[in-house]
């Protein structure tokens, strides 16, 4: 006479089988999603690269045209700046200190992207002696995000190690991969605020060779203030 299997054992076996099925289904969905993200990322990277090259060619053509006509070509006002804090908290008055906190520049050698407008330029005026800033090119934006980029996930700082992390947090803004993030920041797109908030303030290292003097402005052979396109050279030393 065969022994009857207890009902609890049957239920346990059924639960175990169901949980395996659910896990397999989740894994299949995740693999499908990762494949879709990878395909999107590849296509968008190609699209953006073409866009950047076309913009460069157009700029060269406009400058050449102006030269032939004996005039000057005035480039559009920059929309993006990268700010690096270069001085500590000693002797910082309350107002500049508050602005540094609002911009998430709480530590020396921390850096952030900002949208340039009347309001942000006014803030930069107040904190000018404590920061250096300028206009990053696409290569600098890409290098910062790929090499030093960390995300704000549940108020925690986490390294951006996959497109899936970006997809989870920013898919509703049509930002699904690293190149989308780079493009949104560099072009100061309509979802710049959300993309920038997703990024934790960059922690940079002291530049090779150090700073000459942080008490003088860049135009006076010092370090603080606006260094325009020369910010790209400095960032390369600090990544």
pLDDT tens digits along 14-46: 666 566 666 666 767 777 777 888 888 889 999
pTM to 2 decimal places: 0.84
Q: What was the pLDDT predicted at 21?
A: 64
> How many CB atoms are located within 10 Å of the residue 138 CB?
18
In angstroms, the CA 136 to CA 142 distance is: 10
DSSP 3-state of 224:
strand
| Ranges of the chain whose pLDDT falls below 50 | 1
Cα–Cα distances (Å) from 33 to 2, 118, 164, 178, in that order, read 48, 42, 9, 16
Q: What was the pLDDT predicted at 154?
A: 86
Q: What was the pLDDT predicted at 230?
A: 95
Q: What was the pLDDT predicted at 40?
A: 86
């Amino acid at each position: 006479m065969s022994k009857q299997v207890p009902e609890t054992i049957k239920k346990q076996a059924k639960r175990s089988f169901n949980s395996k099925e659910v896990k397999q289904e989740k894994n299949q969905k995740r693999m499908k999603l990762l494949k879709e993200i990878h395909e999107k990322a590849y296509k968008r990277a190609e699209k953006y690269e073409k866009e950047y090259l076309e913009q460069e060619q157009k700029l060269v053509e406009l400058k050449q045209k102006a030269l032939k006509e004996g005039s000057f070509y005035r480039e559009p006002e920059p929309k993006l700046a990268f700010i690096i804090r270069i001085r500590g908290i000693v002797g910082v008055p309350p107002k500049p200190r508050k602005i540094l906190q609002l911009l998430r520049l709480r530590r020396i050698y921390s850096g952030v992207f900002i949208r340039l407008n009347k309001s942000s330029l006014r803030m930069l005026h107040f904190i000018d002696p404590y920061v250096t800033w300028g206009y990053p090119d696409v290569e600098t934006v890409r290098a910062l995000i790929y090499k030093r980029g960390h995300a704000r996930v549940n108020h925690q700082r986490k390294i951006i190690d996959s497109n899936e992390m970006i997809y989870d947090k920013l898919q509703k803004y049509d930002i699904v991969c690293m190149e989308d993030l780079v493009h949104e920041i560099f072009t100061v797109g309509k979802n710049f605020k959300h993309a920038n908030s997703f990024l934790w303030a960059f922690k940079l290292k002291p530049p090779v060779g150090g700073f000459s003097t942080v008490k003088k402005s860049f135009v006076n052979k010092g370090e603080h203030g606006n260094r325009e396109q020369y910010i790209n050279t400095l960032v390369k030393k600090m990544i």
